[in-house]
Amino acid sequence: MEFSFSFLFSSVLLLLPLLLLLPLRSVIIHSRKETKQRPPGPKGWPVIGNILDLGAMPHQTLFNLRTRYGPDLLWLKLGSMNTMVVQSAKAAEQLLKNQDTSFCDRKCPHALTSHNYKDGTIAFGRYGSYWRVLRRLCTMEFLVNKRINDMAPVRRKCVDAMIQFMEEDSAAALARGESGAVNLAHYLFLMGFNVVGNLTYGEGFGNCWKVFERKS
């Protein structure tokens, strides 16, 4: 009984490394296949990739790598991000003009992929028929000269409201014995929120100044 148990234990110890090496082998083979299809580039370090290779002046480093890996395309690994560097006008024309539909998508943050939030935005949506409809609607409804001119009073009203609340908060700060300086970025954010809300939902949206806490 003791012999059988020791034999079984030894067999498990011998098989365990093999079971762990099989997935690693498949990952290595898969990465080699992908490497053959990629443009040339320097080998990166684990985890950090080629971040340390760029140095203090990345533009000069990329220019110097042209002599070793070719003048057109360069492949880098920046952390977990695969990066293709286009270094010539000929390659840029091929990429942006002839193959534009294959490379027109951009990386979408994982936070926006939840519940398909990315499908409702032009900035991060995947290129396709639905994205083209969104772009057409945006161009026709928001970016034509007539619509922009018609919405000028709404934008002017939001800017005037921002200036008014900045003056009120600055005066309140001076009354408290403070310097009266205000955080301009905070008011610009609220003004932009007001503009988008009024343009999207109409005049009934009102102002969001009283909804958010005003900070000076």
DSSP secondary structure code for residue 49 in this structure: B
Q: Would residue 137 be called left, alpha or beta, if left means φ above 0 and alpha means ψ between -120 and 50 degrees?
A: alpha
Confidence class of residue 123 from pLDDT cuts 50, 70 and 90? confident
Look-up of token digits 């760029």: 54
Q: What's the rounded Cα separation, in Å, for the pair 165 and 212?
A: 12
Confidence class of residue 55 from pLDDT cuts 50, 70 and 90? confident
Residues in the chain: 216
| Residue 87, amino acid | Q
Confidence class of residue 96 from pLDDT cuts 50, 70 and 90? confident
Once rounded to an integer, what is the mean pLDDT over residues 68-79?
88
pLDDT at 194 over 60: yes
Q: Considering the chain, what is the average pLDDT of its residues? A: 78
The residue among 82, 75, 77, 76 whose CA lies nearest residue 107 is: 82
Counting Cβ atoms within 10 Å, is residue 46 exposed (0-12), middle (13-18) or buried (19+)? exposed
The residue among 94, 92, 76, 72 whose CA lies nearest residue 84 is: 76
pLDDT in the model for residue 10: 64
pLDDT at 2 over 50: no
Q: What's the rounded Cα separation, in Å, for the pair 44 and 53?
A: 8
Q: How confident is the model over 125-171, as pLDDT tens digits?
A: 788 888 888 888 888 877 888 888 888 888 898 899 889 888 988 99
Confidence class of residue 214 from pLDDT cuts 50, 70 and 90? very low
Once rounded to an integer, what is the mean pLDDT over residues 53-60?
88
Query: Hey, is 75 helix, strand or coil?
Result: strand
